[in-house]
Structure 1
Amino acid sequence: MIETPVKTRTALSFAAAAAVAALALASCATAAPGTQAAPPSSSTSAAAVAPQGSVPASGSGDNAAGGSSAPTVTGKDALALKGPALAQTVPDVTAAVKNPRPKLPATVTDSTGKKITVAKTDRLLALDLYGTLTDTVIGLGLQKSLVGRSNSDTQAALKDLPVVTQDGHDLNTEAVLNLRPSLILTNTTIGSEDKYRQLESAGVTVVRFESTPSLDTIDDAIDEVGDALGLPQAAQELADRTERELEAAKATVSQLKANTPVAPRGLVLYVRGTAGVFFILGKDYGAGDIVTALGLEDAAAKNGITQLKPANAEALVSLDPQVVLAMKDGVESTGGVEGLIKRQGMAATTAGANQRIITAADGQLLSYGPRTPANLVSLATAIYTEGK
């Protein structure tokens, strides 16, 4: 039997993670009819694409998609670009090992301090707001063990699996139980604690992880999932590969931003519908590391915003972002780029005036896991090459 503690780190608290999920849930459930799923703005540019294989691992031709390295792309001066851009959805993670053989039972101490013994991994659900846990399961070679998915799991390989979420990012316990899962992995950013307790009462093993929106904690998070699945060696291989890819991605971002003389002020906005769901995301919500890794100046951090702040006109004008990052579905739900810019204060910002709105798939923008390297390249390509 393997017994491993799930590490505790200073990161996004459960309360903060739950708040993001609650925002998404509330906005989906309460927005007025006709305000959701508005068609994409006609002004949105073609997808800004980092060619598949543009994140080579150091010392090899491997990358997040399992392809070969691509030619270097020359970036433009991002401060001179205008118009929106859509970052390409990155490819699915490839397994770091073939035919993994979990060593079970495995006992871990989860993020609540409770010891959990995992006896089976044959029927899995991995549930978190950005699909990171699912990416990790796939990277560990257990894709075929997944029996369902959340609406955040947009991986191509999982498109035929039943969805177990409802009303945004709430959990449908009946749908979960119908799948007879032997194990659920979650950081509770999807579903409530009450529902996970219901599932445990029904005999389902649930392992809770800390939500860790940081580049520095990706390897630890992968190790923790590997320990819970009885695959510590596979997790080490996946973590090592991801680290190599991350270093290569940072080098690619550096090349792309080489022609931008001053770091543009960057901001991550969370928007849903046309009502009141409009927030600035700080580093505690996963925005800081992504903004900085993309070569942008973190406008939120510079102004002392570390958590969640209403994106009112005063705040937006004060921060005056030059580049705004946002979730694709969120921007579409508010009327596309034109609808976002009509929000009070947005048109008065440099990003609003120039329509420099960079969107990415909702489950990708702030994901910290095996797909992060490819995500960084995709976002950087949109920022530094796409636009007028």
Structure 2
Amino acid sequence: MRSLLRAALAPLIGLLLAAAPAAADPSAPDPSPPDPSAASRIVSVDGAVTEIVYALGQGGRVVATDTTSSWPAEVASLPKVGYKRSLTPEGLLSLRPDLILASSTAGPAQVLDAVRAAGVPVVTVPDAHSTEGVLAKVRAVAVALGLPAQGEALAGRIAADLETQAARLATVRERPRVLFVMDTGQGGLMAAGRDTAADAAIALAGGINAFAGVTGLKPLTPEAAVLAAPQVIVVTHQAADRQGGLASIAAHPALALTPAVRDGRLVSLDALLVLGFGPRIGEAVRVMVAAFHPELPAQAAEVPR
């Protein structure tokens, strides 16, 4: 039994030893800790974090990402370390990173602790779903990269985009009931309740979450959808594609009898764009404001890129 355990642990021990610095000469002065801002082999763990790195013009320093990183298009060719909540020491250390940028939702925590113990800096980036949360995320990444001034400039542009939409919404008298739909990957649909990224995005765009009576994501039944009575339905591109398109979403038994389907008020958005709360959040809010409030004058940039 012990020999089997040693054999199973051998690859991980090898990676930890390879990534760890060599034993120091006791007579030598203490070495300086690694400087994350000088990192050239960054592993970015979180779609929004990756977007921020690229928005700051530092994509050339990224050697791998997690599977939630889908923008910009060039990240598709990079190695993947798996889903951000299911990381492994082997997957991270095998890439010989000199910095890991990870959102506060990444983990497991013991995996990131093991990577730190191997001598690789890990910077945890806050992940709050709010205007202030996006700006804090941008600033944290920029500081980690040694680019605080560029981070302030990017944060300023994002804040200005969101302030523009907030000013437009100041004239709105009625806010529609909005249902945000995702799928289970097995044919069923899920609705986003309160305390979700979708709930926060709906609020930023001047809507009322029609499913705010529940917390988190919940299976969507025809009865619940009828009671929610959404005037607008938002669905991710990914969910719509898996369901066979927006027409299939509209025909789904859980949604077919809703006011939103009756009135043809369905809008599809990329999941990372609207739920990532990254540097493109202003774009997502512009699209939703147009869908929620057609009475407002149109803006030139309402078509998602």
Residue number in structure 1 paired with 2:9: none
Confirm or deny that 1:298 pairs with 2:216: no
Aligned-residue offset at 1:122 = 1.5
User: Which structure has the larger Rg over C-alpha atoms?
Assistant: 2
Residue number in structure 1 paired with 2:181: 269
Residue number in structure 1 paired with 2:197: 286
Residue number in structure 2 paired with 1:245: 161
Cα 1:166/1:338, change in 2 over 3 Å: farther
Cα 1:358/1:172, change in 2 over 3 Å: farther
Larger helix fraction of residues: 2
Confirm or deny that 1:196 pairs with 2:112: yes
Deviates more, 1:325-334 or 1:338-347: 338-347
Unaligned runs of 5+ in 1: 1-104, 108-116
Structure with more relative contact order (C-alpha pairs < 8 Å, separation 6 or more): 1
Amino acid paired to 1:237? A
Amino acid paired to 1:296? G
Q: Is the 8 A contact 1:269 1:325 kept in 2?
A: yes
Confirm or deny that 1:123 pairs with 2:35: no
Cα 1:160/1:348, change in 2 over 3 Å: closer
Confirm or deny that 1:140 pairs with 2:56: yes
Mapping of residues 1-388 of structure 1, within 5 Å: 118=36, 120-128=38-46, 131-156=47-72, 158-159=74-75, 161-166=77-82, 170-171=86-87, 174=90, 176-187=92-103, 189=105, 192-251=108-167, 254=169, 262-276=174-188, 278-301=189-212, 304-383=213-292, 384=294
Deviates more, 1:237-246 or 1:188-197: 188-197
- How far apart are the structure 2 equivalents of 1:358 and 1:119? 40
- How far apart are the structure 2 equivalents of 1:106 and 1:226? 19
Q: Is the 8 A contact 1:266 1:291 kept in 2?
A: yes
SS in 2 for 1:164: coil
Aligned-residue offset at 1:321 = 0.8
Q: Is the 8 A contact 1:272 1:334 kept in 2?
A: no
Amino acid paired to 2:196? Y
Cα 1:169/1:380, change in 2 over 3 Å: farther
- How far apart are the structure 2 equivalents of 1:353 and 1:120? 56
- How far apart are the structure 2 equivalents of 1:343 and 1:160? 32
- How far apart are the structure 2 equivalents of 1:185 and 1:106? 17
Cα 1:157/1:269, change in 2 over 3 Å: closer
Cα 1:169/1:293, change in 2 over 3 Å: same
Amino acid paired to 1:269? V
Question: What's the TM-score, normalizing by structure 1?
Answer: 0.58
In the TM superposition, what whole-angstrom CA distance separates every residue of 1:227-263 from its partner, at most 9, and x where no partner exists?
Answer: 3333333322222222122222434x549x96xx732
Amino acid paired to 2:238? D
Equivalent pairs, count: 264
Cα 1:380/1:281, change in 2 over 3 Å: same
Cα 1:185/1:237, change in 2 over 3 Å: same
Cα 1:376/1:204, change in 2 over 3 Å: same
- How far apart are the structure 1 equivalents of 2:69 and 2:198? 20
Percent identity among equivalent residues?
Answer: 27
Cα 1:254/1:106, change in 2 over 3 Å: farther
Question: What's the TM-score, normalizing by structure 2?
Answer: 0.72
